[in-house]
Chain A
Amino acid sequence: MLLKIAWRNIWRSKTRSFVVILSIAMGVWALAFILSFSLGMTYSYIENAIRDQWSHLQVHHPKFSEDKLAKFYIPNAEEVLDSLSGIPEVQAVTPRTIISGMVSSSRGASGVEVVGVDPQMETAVTHLESEIVEGEYFSEKRKSEIILSRRTAEKLKVGLRNRVVVTFQNLDGTITSVAFRVVGLFSTGNMMFDEGRVFVKREALQEHLMSIENPAENPAQFIHEIAIFLHSTDELLPVKQRLQKSFQNLLVQDYRELSPDIELYESQIQLSNTIMITIFMLALIFGIVNTMLMAVLERYRELGMLMAIGMNKPRVFSMVVLETLFLGLVAAPLGLGLGWLTVFLLKDGGIDLSAFAKGMERFGLDTVVYPLLSPELYVQIAVAVFVTALLASLYPALKAIRLRPVEALQKV
């Protein structure tokens, strides 16, 4: 009966109820849109970071992450690669030879990480080939080819087919300089990534890494990193655990461990979402309190009558709370539906923020954001509306039960 009265009560003043429902729904829609926008940005940031930079998992020598020296290569890289080829969750792998060095031209120099890749295998794991904006990807003809980022090329004032010299320490610490010809320029949109790396063919780098004192070593074994791309991020943890168990002498890390900034970014986004939800709740609370207070004061006499004929305080309190919750219950699905529709309409075109592209690229974000609404976000918003309505109902409900029936009944 309480439910019935509460439900019918909210439709007594249709215009007022519609206005408050519409205002809650618009608030929910705005919140859903903002949250879906930031989720879309987070998702694209992480996807870009996985695709361009980290992959899902990476395998290293345990000391390589502390000190990127040539000597910390993976001793049993072949065995690891063989084992990975038998794991169904693994979509692609690529071995890399990595050294810190300097790339220089006659007009400039830049400290970089020189990444030796297997051109074919790298394509299956990263977007390097598709991010070539000038020139071409590695050819099969020459060994000494290098791909620079456009930013690095500008810094060195070099163009396609120009020569650059890469200087690094080989295995026995001898400074080695090797000339490469620029065949392509890439741009990932992530300035930090672009300026920090150059790509060469793995075999070219491996050759020059070999110790002069101990030339008998097989250069093909100088693999410092094996990047693993999985079919789905959901499979990350079990694959990681399995690999770590199989190769206890190596360090298996996922993209979060490799890139603490992803975690930082996620926590910042979560924090800003929490702040937005709180602001939304506060704004909504005042609107709802105002409406419900009006509804209670308008029915002062009626509430007095209800208490006179025996409706006790907990029931009167519950009735006002229920009325407020019903307003939220009608408004929330409406707002969430609008939010879903907005996300649906933007799923192909996204929101083009190219006007702010430079700032966004600096942080590895796409210039087109595709808003996303996850089931967790729907639940989060629905809970926020419920809690807001509940909190907003308390004061009007308290006001209702504090009335004295004898006074309320005499109200005109």
Chain B
Amino acid sequence: MPIIEAHGLTKTYNPDKVPVHALRGVDLTVEKGEFTAIIGPSGSGKTTLLNIIGGLDRPTEGFIKVDGTDLSTLSDNQLIDFRQKNIGFVFQSYNLIPVLNVAENTEFVMLLQKRPKAEREKRVAELLHAVGLDDKMDKRPSELSGGQQQRVAVARALAPKPSFILADEPTANLDSKSAFNLLDIMEQLNREEGITFIFSTHDSRVIERARRVISLVDGQIAKDERR
């Protein structure tokens, strides 16, 4: 069963005034274990598509199923719980919690899920080791570089073992070295642990590494290429 199944997704902003069609009938299926990049120029609908897949926004038309659940049937509060359990988010500007240290940021979603302390500590240690930050556990985000912060964001997204990770332009604010380092980590997690990654990006460094590239143009899929 595919992890994501979307049919006829449209999203129109300001439908009553000056309508802006961000998505125009997108059909999309993502299988478990994919390493997918959604690309396209600014305004092509990448972020909108990602927001709808992540349950942060609702389509104007069409339907989307994530892990077999039709997101349109969920209330706003149910959507929050659904995101917490099923989706890991990595944002362009890291969006870590500034008052928590690296370890606390990583375990945050597990705390919301009320996972036992021992499990949380073990998972945090594993993940921070995997992203190469085991020596920075007590640092606050402000004490880390952009690349390090984004690796913490990846660790946080992975902590509750979600069905997939949605990353909105994860390398946009990183230098080349940090970007490659991050991509190495994500690729390794995908390859070795079968974690599904979906990126929106127009960063050629990410596109080169993706095994599936979906090109959006004017809110429609222009090309869906598997490598």
Contacts and interface: CB of A to CB of B under 8 A. Distances in A.
A320 to B, nearest CB: 14
B74 interface: no
Specify the main secondary structure of chain B where it touches its partner.
helix
Interface stretch (B62-70, B105-113, B169-177, B211-219): B105-113
Given A302-B95, A308-B56, A313 B100 contact: no
Interface string A209-240: 00000000000000000000000000000000
Contacts of A276: none
B156 interface: yes
Contacts of B54: 308
Contacts of B144: none
A302 B95 CA distance: 7
Nearest to A310: B84
B132 interface: no
Interface residues of B, number: 27
Contacts of A306: 97
A28 B57 CA distance: 46
Main secondary structure of the interface of A (DSSP, over half): helix
A322 to B, nearest CB: 13
Nearest to B83: A310
Contacts, number: 61
From A301, A306, A309, A405, name the one whose CB has the most chain B CB atoms within 10 angstroms: A309
**Interface size bucket, A side?**
20 to 34
Given A301-B95, A313-B77, A406-B51, A308 B89 contact: yes
Most buried by A among B83, B113, B160: B83
A5 B80 contact: no
Interface in B178-209: none
A312 B80 contact: yes
A315 interface: yes
A355 interface: no
A5 B100 contact: yes
Interface string A290-307: 000000000001100111
Interface of B: 51, 54, 56-57, 76-77, 80-81, 83-85, 89, 91, 95, 97-100, 104, 108-109, 111-113, 156-157, 160
